[in-house]
Amino acid sequence: MDYGYSNDPTTMIGVWKKGDDLYIKEFLYRTGMTNKDIHDFLKQMNIGRNQIYGDSAEPKTIDELYRFGWNIKPATKGQGSVNIGIDMMKRYRLNVTKDSINTIKEFRNYKWQEDKNGHILNSPVDMFNHSIDAVRYALYDKLARPNYGKYAIR
């Protein structure tokens, strides 16, 4: 999940991996949602105990959704995590469901920053990225670190 309110949407994107394919489905892409609204939406969607990775820049939202009973963890972010997540996406054939209209629009409009001479920089433009950020969170936490936190070292 990626969170927004006024201008940016709150998104929830399902991500499944099979071989070299990633399957991406948009479940939520809406502005103006409070944490209670998100909770009600998750109940309505019957998400159950499926793992949710939420934008770690919103610890209050994650904590509140966790207190509502959702299996939510903060997404791992840090220096280079955006580019690492994008690189991980490039390793797969992306299959976005036809009904994921906003996510398709984001993938079609996502681009890299350019300098004044038109040379591409190693940093994406911070637009058309809300669904893509949610996909990155799942990939980075689940695939880049598949056993992280699974085993206790004693």
Q: How many domains does the chain have?
A: 1
For residue 52, being part of any structural domain is answered with: yes
pLDDT exceeds 90 at position 145: no
For residue 111, being part of any structural domain is answered with: yes
pLDDT exceeds 70 at position 144: no
DSSP 42-102: HHHHT-TT--EEE-TT-HHHHHHHHHTT--EEEPP--TTHHHHHHHHHHTSEEEE-TT-HH
What is the CATH number for 107?
Answer: 3.30.420.280
Q: How many residues does the chain have?
A: 154
For residue 5, being part of any structural domain is answered with: no
For residue 4, being part of any structural domain is answered with: no
For residue 1, being part of any structural domain is answered with: no
Q: What would the pLDDT profile of 12-34 be if each residue is shown by its tens digit?
A: 999 999 999 999 999 999 999 99
For residue 105, being part of any structural domain is answered with: yes
For residue 98, being part of any structural domain is answered with: yes
Out of 33-37, 102-106, 124-128, pick the least confident: 124-128
Q: What would the pLDDT profile of 55-95 be if each residue is shown by its tens digit?
A: 999 999 999 999 999 999 999 888 888 888 899 999 999 99
Distances (CA, A) of 62 to 2, 37, 68, 91, 107: 11, 13, 10, 29, 26
> pLDDT at position 147, please?
54
Structural domain that includes position 127: 10-144
For residue 152, being part of any structural domain is answered with: no
